[in-house]
Amino acid sequence: MSNSANAVRAALVTAMVTAGLVGAAAAVGAEPPGYAALPVDPNIISDSTAYIGQPPVLDPGGQPGVEQTFAHRDNSRQIVDTVLVAPNPQAAAGALQNMQAELPSLVAAPTTEPVDVGENGSVSTGLSPDGSQSVSVLLFTRGTTATEVQFSGAANDPVPLDLVVLYGQQQDQAIRQQLNQ
C-alpha cells in the first residue's frame, strides 16, 4: 500500500474510533426518559384551577418514575400521584404488591373494591390511621408501570369514587400515550 492509502486508512480508523467513543459517552450521559409530565393535573378532571401542583419528584424512593403532589388551594384536599416504571410487567406487578402491602400505613381498615382502571385496578377507602382524614388509594398497573394515587381530605368528606375512577382512567391514558404501553 502507498503512504497516502495508509494515511487515508489511518484517518478512517481514527474517525470510526472517535465516533464510537463519542457515541458511548453520549449513551453513558444520556438522560433518563422524561417522566415529569406523566402525572395528570387534577384541574383537567374538575375543570377548575383549584389544585396547585408541586414540582414533580423524579425517581421517588430511588425507583425509576415520578411522584407529584397536588394540593387544593384551600389545603382541604391533597392528591399524591406516583407512577413507577419497572423493567418489565412482572416487576411492575411486584411493585403493585409492595404498594398493596403498604396500604395499612395509609388507610385504617379500608374497604377495597376493583375498579375499571388500567390492569388490576382497585380502590381502598377509609380513614387515615389517626382518623383525622378520609383517604382513598387507587392502585393499578399498565404494562411496565405501577401507579398509586392517594386522595386525602376531611374525615367527613371523602373523595367520590367516580372522581377517583375518572382521574385513574386519565392517568392510565397518559401512561399509554407517553410511554407507549
**Average pLDDT, whole number, for the chain?**
86
181: pLDDT confidence band, cut at 50, 70 and 90?
confident
Report the pLDDT value the prediction gives residue 20, as an integer from 0 to 100: 36
CATH of domain 42-179: 3.40.1000.70
Average pLDDT of span 105-114: 96
* Res 62 pLDDT > 50: yes
Residue type, 65: G
Q: Which three cell numbers stand for residue 108?
A: 385504617
Domains of the chain by residue range: 1-30, 42-179
Give the C-alpha separation, 69 to 3, whole Å: 67
Give the C-alpha separation, 164 to 170, whole Å: 10
Report the pLDDT value the prediction gives residue 33, as an integer from 0 to 100: 61
CA atoms 83, 89, 91, 94: torsion sign? positive
Q: ∠ CA(74), CA(80), CA(83), 5° rounding?
A: 155
Contact 142, 118 (CB under 8 A): yes
Give residue-wise pLDDT tens across range 3-18: 444 443 433 333 333 3
Average pLDDT of span 68-87: 96
Torsion angle of C-alpha atoms 47, 103, 127, 61, degrees rounded to 10: -60
Contact partners, residue 9, CB within 8 Å, separation at least 6: 1
Give residue-wise pLDDT tens across range 21-36: 333 333 334 444 689 9
* Res 110 pLDDT > 70: yes
Q: Who wins on pLDDT, 88 or 48?
A: 88
